[in-house]
């Protein structure tokens, strides 16, 4: 009878966003965004620079004024894009300081901190002054400081920015480990291939709005894309270019690239055959044809090319 | 659930302060420098370093006496040249800083004084410096007071000896005219009375008819202690505005504020922690100043509880003002400039250079409620007079500034 009084725990959902609007002055940065992040996921938010990725994360944790419904089911840890610790202090001192800010006792902080440092291959840096750390190590420390209090939800803003391949590999491995131990991770990144490999689902933003959301397969299926074909031709003149564009528009074929001697299209298997017939009718000859499984890069290109 | 983490934040502030040794040195050194200057300088002030250029055009006994008195108190260069040369030389000397003041003893100096007429002295000074007028008045008073007193005394003796003769004659006439007609007798009696007045006249009455007895309304045993509240107030404003504003910038740059806002921490804890830490800084500086003044001979009448409360409020207000500066400044350089920009008018409006009573009405009203003025008055009450004073005004400042800072913390991107 009094079930409505019980605090809603969100079930399988850890982050719920409905009609999120964030404005700066008269300009809307985020326009009516809605998405959910399920428990135990790594959820990636991707998009062009300026599409609003960091703004979404900042509004989730209350750093920006917002309208709409935002609910985080459980405590969270936020890691900003910039290094958020004191460079004058040692790693240990930073752990204790920020751990205490999150309400964790010094002993527990150090215990947990040491474990995390070991996992991120930084154990030998415990007594080093933070300013002496490399860029990759600073990023790792930044993340560690955000999760000392064992939050249910970890929100990371561009955790891979400026990192080399090795550091990214270490970090992705760490995040997968966290996910497997029950954490829910929400992050932004520019690295589409790595996001596709590691994220359970992605949200593709364009101009502050949702362009696509879900797993890469789901996104592509919804858009009727089964395959990406690359065609290399000796010459496509303007008339033929126009014909191709009209055909693609009518038949829901996504043009990812259209140049004089190359075309990249994303389309369904059915449309693939029909498209080859169209090309032969128009007497457009191609020297090379490649087809491949579509990727998150292609979804991203679709958002850029507005298809 | 949100929790206060004041103690943890205080620890962080202290740790950062200790790591930034240059700030620590500044905190310790400033009270010594400022306090030392304010406490020592007044007692070390001498007149011997004042250089005088003096031209005696009279070359008389009296003028020489004047010259010797000036030479005994000040470092003096004497000229015995023509008037035109003296005027030119003394003007040139004052302009080139060879002399602080130039004096010309006019021709006829002695004869004027001997005839009980006013004698003339010409004084040359730097009138391009508005502060020099006050200094000049003091100098003239100092240089002439001894000489004036001796001249007045000699004039009195001379006058009275002349009057004595006439008085004796008049008394003789009075004794003769006693039995005469009333009119003649009355006139002689009146004349003798007048001569008695003149005989008993204090000549200094003529130069200074009204004696002013200055009575300070407070029982202050140590005048140097009255400089103490001023130094404490100025030092607190200067130090805390800069330190607290730059600390906010530092926290913003290191994203400490982001961490606070995204953790379950009361934002007020951040403000409170800053106030606590900078109160401790103020306490250290206060202690250094207090001991310095004690060593240099000042004595105080301390109301300990009152002083403690006042120090808390003073450091709180100055810290919160500094934090507002930190929130509106883009970087540490701007914050420091902004702090200096505020400190200087604070000093002027608080009556440190000119008494507030000299300000026009509308500025005086504003000055009466200015934070630094209130701070100095409260420190004076509790350290010099040993009494409680009303802390409501400063309390209101604290509350308002606290709200402003909280809003900045909450809303600033």
Residues B17 and B120 in one domain: no
**CB neighbours of A216 closer than 8 A, spacing ≥ 6?**
A196, A202, A294, A295, A296, A299
DSSP B49: T
Predicted pLDDT at B97: 84
Chain B neighbors of A83, CB-CB under 8 A: 254-255
If asked whether residues B366 and B394 sit together in one domain, one would say: yes
Pairwise CB contact (< 8 Å): B5 & A100:
yes
Do B294 and B386 sit in the same domain of this protein?
yes
Assigned domain for B52 exists: yes
What is the band of B38 on the pLDDT scale with cuts at 50, 70, 90? confident
- The range of the structural domain enclosing residue B53 comes to 47-126
Cβ atoms of B166 and B195 within 8 Å: the answer is yes
CB pairs under 8 A between A and B: 61
- Reading chain A (307 residues) residue by residue, the pLDDT tens digits are 554 444 455 578 999 999 999 998 888 999 999 999 999 999 999 998 888 999 999 999 999 988 999 999 999 999 999 999 999 899 999 999 999 888 888 899 999 999 999 999 999 999 999 999 999 999 999 999 999 999 999 999 999 998 899 989 999 999 999 999 999 999 999 888 899 899 999 999 988 999 889 988 888 888 888 888 888 876 667 777 788 888 888 888 888 887 777 888 888 888 888 888 888 888 877 777 888 888 888 888 887 776 5
Instruction: Work out the minimum CA distance from B248 to partner chain A, whole angstroms.
Output: 13
Q: Which residues contact A248 (CB under 8 A, 6 or more apart)?
A: A254, A255, A265
Establish if A105 touches chain B: CB-CB under 8 angstroms.
no
CB-CB under 8 Å, B259 with A101: yes
B367 within a domain of the structure (yes/no): yes
Residue of B11, B254, B262 with shortest CB distance to A62: B262
Given pLDDT bands bounded at 50, 70 and 90, which one contains residue B310? very high
pLDDT band (50, 70, 90) for residue B248: very high
The torsion defined by the Cα of B78, B82, B85 and B88, in degrees rounded to 10, comes to 80
Q: Of B83-97, B320-334, B353-367, which has the strongest mean pLDDT?
A: B320-334
Strand partners, A71: A16
Task: Count Cβ atoms within 10 A of the Cβ of residue A48 and give its class: 0-12 exposed, 13-18 middle, 19 or more buried.
Answer: middle
**CA-to-CA dists, residue B2 to A171, B255, B397, angstroms:** 31, 20, 27
Q: What percent of chain B has pLDDT above 90?
A: 26
| Residue A5 DSSP one-character state | G
Contact residues on chain A for B8, CB-CB shorter than 8 A: 97, 100-101
Within 10 angstroms of residue B29's Cβ, the number of other Cβ atoms is 11
Specify the residue for token string 């840096």: A125
| B130 — pLDDT class (breaks 50, 70, 90) | low
Determine the pLDDT at residue A279. 83
A102 inside 8 A of chain B by CB? yes
- Is there a single domain that holds both residue B280 and residue B400? yes
> Domains of chain A, with CATH numbers?
38-216 (3.40.50.300), 219-305 (3.30.70.980)
Alpha helices in B296-349 (DSSP H): 304-328, 332-349
* Tens-digit pLDDT profile for residues B146-196: 777 777 777 778 778 888 888 888 888 888 888 776 788 888 888 888 888
Pair B239, B382 in one domain: yes
Measure A93 CA to nearest chain B CA, in Å: 9
Nearest to B263 among A82, A85, A102 (CB): A102
Instruction: Judge if B25 and B117 occupy the same domain.
Output: no
Instruction: Classify B410 as helix, strand or coil.
Output: helix
- Does B363 contact A at CB distance below 8 Å? no
Q: Which residues numbered 223-282 in B keep a CB inside 8 Å of some CB on A? A: 254-256, 258-265
Q: Cβ separation of B8 and A100 shorter than 8 Å?
A: yes
Q: Which residue of A has its CA nearest to B265?
A: A101
Residue B258 is assigned to a structural domain of this protein: yes
Q: Are residues B36 and B117 in the same domain?
A: no
Distances (CA, A) of A241 to A260, A271, B63, B348: 8, 18, 114, 77
Q: How far is A194 from chain B (nearest CA, A)?
A: 28
Please, which contacts does B366-370 make with residues 24 or more away whose CB atoms are closer than 8 Å?
Answer: B369/B393, B370/B346
Q: Cα–Cα–Cα angle for A276, A282, A287, nearest 5°?
A: 55
Residue B371 and residue B236 in one domain: yes
Give B47's pLDDT tier (boundaries 50, 70, 90).
low
Q: What strands, in cross-sheet order, belong to the sheet with A227-233?
A: A254-258, A262-267, A227-233, A286-292
Of all helices (H) and strands (E), which one includes residue A138?
helix A135-146
Q: Given an 8 Å threshold on Cβ–Cβ distance, is B262 in contact with A89?
A: no
Mean pLDDT of B295-317: 90
pLDDT given for residue B317 in this prediction: 96
What is the number of other CB atoms lying within 10 angstroms of the CB of residue B190?
Answer: 10
B22 close to A (CB below 8 A):
no
| Residues facing residue A79 across a β-bridge | A156
Q: Which of A61, A80, A88 sits opposite B16 (nearest CB)?
A: A88
* Both structure tokens of B203: 């000549």
Strand A42-47 relative to strand A67-72: parallel, antiparallel, unpaired? unpaired
The residues, ordered by sequence, that sit 6+ positions from A267 with a Cβ below 8 Å of its Cβ are A224, A225, A226, A227, A229, A251, A252, A253, A254, A275
Residues in chain A with CB shorter than 8 Å from the CB of B260 are 101
Which ipTM was obtained for this model? Answer: 0.81
Look at chain B and report how many structural domains it folds into: 2
Contact (CB, 8 A) for B385 and B301: yes
Please state whether beta strands A184-188 and A153-156 pair in parallel, antiparallel, or not at all (unpaired): parallel
Partner-chain residue, chosen from A75, A84, A87, that has the shortest CB–CB distance to B258? A84
Torsion sign over Cα B302, B305, B310, B312: positive
Range A27-32 contact pairs with CB under 8 angstroms and sequence separation of 24 or more = A28/A208, A29/A55, A29/A208, A30/A55, A30/A56, A30/A59, A30/A66, A30/A208, A30/A209, A31/A207, A31/A208, A31/A209, A32/A68, A32/A209
Q: Tell me: the pLDDT tens digits for B51-70?
A: 888 899 888 988 888 888 88
Matching residue, tokens 């000896």: B161
- Where b means 16+ CB within 10 Å and e means fewer, A247-263 reads bbeeeebbbbeeeeeeb
CB contact under 8 A, A102 and B256: no
Asked, for residue B321, whether it belongs to a domain, the answer is: yes
**Is residue B21 located within the same domain as residue B82?**
no
Q: CB-based burial of residue B221 (10 Å sphere; 0-12 exposed, 13-18 middle, 19+ buried)?
A: exposed
Is residue B81 located within the same domain as residue B17? no
pLDDT for B251-262, tens place per residue?
Answer: 999 999 999 988
The per-residue pLDDT for B78 is 83
* Residue pair A111/A104 in contact by the 8 Å Cβ criterion: no
- Give CA–CA dist B69/B332, Å, rounded: 57
- pLDDT of A12: 86
Does residue B174 lie within any of the structural domains? no
In whole angstroms, what is the distance from residue B249 CA to residue B327 CA?
A: 7
How far is the C-alpha of B325 from the C-alpha of B318, rounded, in Å? 11
Report the mean per-residue pLDDT for chain B. 85
Q: What is the DSSP string of B207-257?
A: H--S------SS--S-GGGGGHHHHHHHHHHHHHHHHHHHHHHHHHHTTHH
User: Residue B68: which CATH number?
Assistant: 3.40.1710.10
Return the DSSP state at B8.
H
Interface of A with B in 208-237 (CB under 8 A): none
Position A7 scores a pLDDT of: 47
Shared domain check, B242 and B102? no
pLDDT > 70? residue B207: no
Selected residue with higher pLDDT from B370 and A95: A95
**pLDDT at residue number A5:** 47
- B377 with B278, same domain: the answer is yes
Structure tokens at A22: 């964030």
Distances (CA, A) of B407 to A60, B327, B402: 20, 10, 9
Interface test with B, best of A97, A99, A129 (most B CBs within 10 A): A97
- Helices B392-411 and B371-380, interaxial angle, to 10°? 140
Among B126, B150, B174, residue at a domain's last position: B126
Domain assignment of residue B339, yes or no? yes
Residue B189 lies in a domain: no
B241 or B358, greater pLDDT: B241
């Amino acid at each position: 009878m009094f079930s409505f009084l019980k605090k809603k725990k969100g079930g399988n959902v850890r982050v719920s966003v409905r009609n999120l609007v964030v404005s700066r002055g008269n300009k809307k940065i985020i326009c009516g965004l809605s998405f959910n992040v399920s428990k135990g996921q790594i959820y990636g938010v991707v998009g062009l620079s300026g599409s609003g990725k960091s703004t979404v994360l900042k509004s989730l944790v209350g750093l920006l004024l917002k309208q709409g419904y935002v609910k985080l089911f459980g405590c969270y840890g936020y890691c900003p894009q910039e290094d958020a610790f004191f460079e004058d202090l040692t790693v240990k001192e930073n752990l204790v300081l920020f751990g205490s800010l999150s309400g964790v006792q010094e002993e527990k902080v150090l215990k947990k901190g040491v474990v995390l440092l070991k996992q991120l291959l930084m154990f030998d840096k415990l007594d080093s002054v933070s300013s002496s750390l490399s860029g990759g190590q600073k990023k790792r420390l930044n993340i560690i400081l955000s999760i000392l209090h064992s939050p249910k939800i970890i929100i990371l803003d561009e955790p891979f920015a400026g990192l080399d391949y090795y550091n990214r590999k270490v970090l992705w491995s760490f995040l997968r480990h966290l996910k497997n131990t029950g954490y829910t991770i929400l992050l932004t990144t520019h690295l589409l291939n790595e996001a596709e490999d590691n994220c359970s689902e992605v949200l593709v933003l364009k101009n502050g709005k949702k362009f696509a959301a879900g797993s890469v397969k789901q996104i592509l299926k919804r858009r009727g894309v089964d395959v990406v074909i690359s065609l290399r031709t000796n010459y496509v003149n303007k008339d033929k270019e126009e014909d191709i564009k009209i055909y693609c528009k009518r038949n829901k074929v996504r043009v990812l690239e259209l140049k004089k001697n190359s075309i990249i299209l994303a389309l369904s298997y059915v449309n693939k055959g029909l498209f080859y017939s169209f090309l032969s009718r128009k007497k457009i000859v191609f020297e090379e044809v490649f087809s491949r499984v579509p990727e998150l890069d292609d979804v991203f290109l679709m958002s850029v090319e507005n298809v | 659930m949100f929790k206060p983490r004041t103690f943890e934040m205080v620890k962080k502030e202290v740790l950062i302060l200790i790591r930034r040794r240059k700030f620590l040195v500044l905190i310790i050194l400033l009270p010594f420098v400022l306090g030392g200057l304010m406490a020592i300088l007044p007692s070390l002030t001498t007149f011997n370093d004042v250089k005088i250029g003096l031209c005696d055009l009279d070359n008389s006994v009296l003028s020489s006496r004047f010259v010797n008195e000036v030479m005994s108190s000040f470092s003096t260069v004497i000229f015995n040249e023509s008037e035109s040369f003296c005027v030119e030389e003394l003007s040139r000397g004052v302009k080139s800083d060879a002399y602080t003041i130039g004096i010309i003893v006019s021709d006829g100096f002695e004869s004027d004084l001997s005839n009980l007429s006013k004698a003339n002295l010409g004084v040359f000074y730097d009138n391009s410096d508005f502060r020099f007028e006050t200094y000049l008045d003091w100098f003239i008073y100092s240089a002439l007071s001894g000489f004036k007193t001796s001249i007045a005394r000699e004039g009195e003796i001379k006058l009275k000896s002349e009057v004595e003769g006439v008085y004796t004659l008049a008394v003789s006439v009075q004794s003769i005219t006693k039995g005469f007609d009333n009119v003649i007798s009355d006139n002689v009696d009146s004349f003798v009375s007048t001569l008695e007045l003149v005989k008993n006249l204090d000549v200094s009455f003529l130069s200074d008819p009204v004696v002013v007895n200055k009575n300070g309304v407070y029982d202050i045993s140590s005048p140097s202690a009255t400089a103490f509240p001023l130094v404490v107030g100025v030092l607190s404003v200067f130090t805390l505005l800069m330190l607290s504003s730059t600390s906010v910038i530092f926290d913003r740059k290191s994203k400490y504020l982001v961490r606070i806002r995204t953790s379950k921490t009361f934002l007020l804890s951040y403000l409170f922690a800053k106030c606590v830490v900078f109160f401790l800084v103020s306490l250290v500086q206060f202690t250094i100043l207090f001991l310095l003044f004690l060593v240099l001979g000042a004595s105080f009448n301390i109301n300990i509880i009152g002083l403690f409360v006042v120090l808390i409020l003073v450091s709180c207000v100055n810290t919160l003002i500094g934090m507002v500066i930190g929130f509106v400044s883009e970087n540490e350089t701007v914050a420091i400039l902004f702090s200096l920009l505020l400190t200087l008018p604070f000093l002027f409006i608080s009556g440190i250079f000119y008494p507030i009573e000299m300000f026009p009405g509308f500025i005086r009203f504003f000055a009466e409620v200015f934070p630094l003025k209130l701070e100095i008055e409260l420190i004076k009450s509790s350290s010099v007079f040993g009494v409680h004073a009303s802390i409501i005004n400063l309390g209101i400042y604290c509350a308002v500034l606290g709200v402003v800072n909280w809003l900045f913390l909450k809303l600033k991107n």
